[in-house]
Amino acid sequence: MNQRLFALAMLALAQFVLCASLAHAVQTSALDAHALPLGDGKVSMVPKRDYVYSCTLSFRGGGAQHTGKWINGSTWDITQKISVRGNVSWPDAAISIRAEGNQRLISSKALPAYHTTGIFPVQRDDPAFQIVRNPNAITAQTITLALSLSPTVVAESGCLPGWSG
């Protein structure tokens, strides 16, 4: 698997895990929707226990041109976050997680499976265009990630490649 595809697959997996974790946390705890944490700062460019060992610490490869009133220091307010207009559903969305041989295979069409999205590319008359000028369309892509069912500790640490867009 080439490095870009691996990075895309890891990004998709991380987003899936993050969304599932946030949804679970919101349902099972007293998180304040007006003060959700912005990361935990646990990213390092050297191997360090309980940190993500990243090849880069610069993650501004795209996205919002500036922050809005929903960012408050080290927290953000989901009730104030501007969203891209639209209510697009993705009936072809699918994710499959299965064990095969000694691997866990995660396959996806890289489409939102459990919610709708706004209209992309972001339209010029959309209020969100002032913040996010994403010119990209959401399109199906086949992503398959094979992980060991019995992972082992490697002899030498290696950083996770970043994705800059």
Taking residues 6-12, report their average pLDDT. 51
Q: Domain spans of the chain?
A: 3-36+68-148
Structure tokens at 53: 């060992």
| Among 81, 108, 110, CA closest to 96 | 108
| Among 4, 2, 14, 3, CA closest to 108 | 14
Taking residues 113-125, report their average pLDDT. 92
Predicted local distance difference test score (pLDDT) of residue 22: 55
Phi, psi dihedrals of residue 121, rounded to the nearest 5°: -60, 155
- State how far Cα 149 lies from the chain centre: 23
How does pLDDT run across 59-91, given as a tens digit for each residue? 655 556 667 788 888 888 989 888 899 999 999
pTM of the full structure: 0.62
Please indicate whether residue 164 or residue 103 has the higher confidence score (pLDDT).
103
* Sign of CA pseudo-dihedral 68, 74, 80, 82: positive
Taking residues 135-154, report their average pLDDT. 91
Predicted local distance difference test score (pLDDT) of residue 137: 92
- The H or E element that residue 97 is part of is strand 95-100
